[in-house]
Amino acid sequence: MRLAYGRQGLWGLVDHRTTRGPSPSGRQDERVVAAVKDVLRKQRGRSKGTVSALMPRVAQVLQDRYGDSVPMPPQATFYRLVRQLAGPADHPARPARTPPITEDGHGHTPTVALRPGEQVQIDTTRLDVIALFDDGTLGRPEMTIAVDVATRAILAAVLCPGGTQAVDAALLLAEMAVPHPARPAWPDALRFTHTQLHAHKRLLTLDERLEAAAARPVVLPETIIVDRGKVFLSRTFTSACESLGISVQPAPPYSPTAKGIVERTFGSINSLFCQHLPGYTGSDITRRGRDAEREACFTVAQLQDLLDEWLVHYHHRPHEGLRHPVLPKAALTPNQMWAALISVAGYVPVPLTRDDYLELLPVRWQAITERGIRLNHRTYDCDLLGPYRGQPSPIASRGGKWEVHTNPHDARQVWLRLPDGQLAEIPWIHRAHVHRPFNEQTWQHIRTTITRHTDPDSLEADLADALDQLMRRARTGHATKAEHRLITRTAPARTPLPPPRAAPGHTEQEPSNPPPAPPADTDSLDHLDDTPDEPQTIDQDTEEIDASMPTVPYTGLGLYDAQAEALKW
């Protein structure tokens, strides 16, 4: 103190810990702080890594500016310094949680839909359940859902083992517009004919397909809101929407709040459905159990079957965001809101025919040669092509090429647009040799295993023979893991197929191709079994909820108590 008094006088005797101002960087060298800020500023807009990746960059900046005169701080001190200096958008290990802001400085305003199908949001994500794939491996399947904004109804949900293709999203449109068939093993409470919706008798007179349908809303979308993924912006998906008269509205870039309803629905599926299944992974890695892989026992097809049944229960569950103007304090179910809105907006049945399904498939423009239609080293030919061989198509804007519809999941045939507008099936010349469907990925793999031939006919025959041998090895279990994975991971668990052509004047129905039933051991769901009651209904004449109407026992999966949750709200 005597030395400090000799150097600074009375100021040297003051405790300088009380004179320091607040500083987020503490006692760190200001030159190090400036270098860290510069590196964080350059990282904005780039992929976020770890904090340890910033240390060599900061050390290089200090070396270039000051040489060896400014040392790097220890690792723990450096981590604390980055944590103090980096904001939510700059920290490598801290994701941004703030809502996106538009150019005008305001967040996106949620839109309001007043009738079913006015706005439908579609998105794809990984299911938080580990599934057992057909090749014996484990993985999380992809789930694509469509949610109606007005009724909060999940109009369609499809699981795919691998990446979802554009044709899968296009066929999802057809699944929304037609009634969902009820499984034979489902209880009567899940069928449309046993619901207490006020309009169900009148709807049965308008659409006979509802007799065998599940108790789920049927909506033909007017506008579909999608993100900017290549699947939803592809020509296949947009053409399918155009054929059904649906408008596609891409969401603004980097704005998940523009389709926040479907994003929130993913959370509801995870909390109400996925967490009750074996193999549940949790919402993030910190919530994942150690035995998630060992608990996984359901295949993708079995998960699809369970999901289809659970969706019927979901539409009987009161939703906090659905309120009726007459009784705003009561939460309605998606089925009740759908019945209330169609009593005002109306219901128009959409009988999709075989040709309507074919219109949703991808389109190729090919020439008809003397040998037929050549597509990816495959020849499609039949007697129907006789008058059109070597002839240009009536569409001059396509250079004389003909419109051909293909199914990426089954390349054994194509469909040709004839001059009268009908679609005719043209088989592959080697279809009788290959008895199982194959996709383009499998065909491209076969092409890599066959050497080049000078004769295209012998090359195609060898490719068909190699494809048949691959299918036989996969069926008998002698295929390699790579080959088995190639065959089993390129098709959805449930793909709507074109229905058979019906007689004139007959209303066609959507085909039902149910996946295999789940195994008998469903203890993961049975231990949650209870018997909630049927929700209240909306009376058509008075347009108000009749709370005094007796309820009907509702037998379900037992994942929630509908009446108990309604009382909480």
The CATH number that applies at residue 198 is 3.30.420.10
Same domain for 385 and 258, yes or no, is: no
Give the end of a domain, one of 465, 488, 511. Answer: 488
Same domain, 335 and 397: no
| pLDDT for the residue 486 | 63
Sheet holding 368-369, edge to edge: 368-369, 372-375, 378-380
For 415, phi then psi, to 5°, come to: -125, 125
Phi, psi of 514 (to 5 degrees): -70, 140
Give yes or no: residues 213 and 335 share one domain.
Answer: yes
pLDDT higher than 50, residue 566: no
Report the Cα–Cα distance between both ends of the chain, in Å, rounded: 69
Closest-CA residue to 562 (of 217, 316, 216, 336): 316
Same domain assignment for residues 222 and 125: yes
Domain that includes residue 171, residue range: 120-349
Query: Do 318 and 413 have their domain in common?
Result: no
pLDDT of residue 61: 92
Q: 281-325 pLDDT, tens per residue?
A: 887 777 787 778 888 888 888 898 899 999 999 999 999 888 888
- Eight-state DSSP code of residue 435: -
The pLDDT tens digits of the residues spanning 226-264 come to: 988 888 888 888 888 888 889 999 988 877 788 889 999
Last residue of a domain, one of 301, 323, 349: 349
Final residue of a structural domain among 62, 95, 128: 95
Give the pLDDT band of residue 107 (cuts 50, 70, 90).
low
In a domain, 375, yes or no: yes
Q: What is the mean pLDDT of the chain?
A: 77
pLDDT tens across 362-374, in order?
888 999 999 899 9
CB-based contact 72:59 (threshold 8 Å): yes
Whether residue 546 is predicted with pLDDT greater than 50 in this model: the reply is no
Residue type present at position 489: R
Q: How many domains does the chain have?
A: 3
Residue at 188 is within a domain: yes
Is 308 found in the same domain as 370? no
Q: Are residues 181 and 327 in the same domain?
A: yes
Say how far apart CA 481 and CA 491 lie, in whole Å: 17
> How buried is residue 478: exposed, middle or buried, by Cβ count under 10 Å (0-12/13-18/19+)?
exposed
d(CA 71, CA 65): 12
pLDDT in tens, 515-545: 333 333 333 333 333 333 333 333 333 333 3
Query: C-alpha distances in angstroms, 235 versus 167, 183, 241, 294, 355?
Result: 10, 34, 10, 41, 19
Assess whether 218 and 171 both reside in one domain: yes
Least confident range from 131-135, 176-180, 213-217, 545-549: namely 545-549
Higher-confidence residue of 364 and 564: namely 364
The reply to whether 503 falls in a domain is no
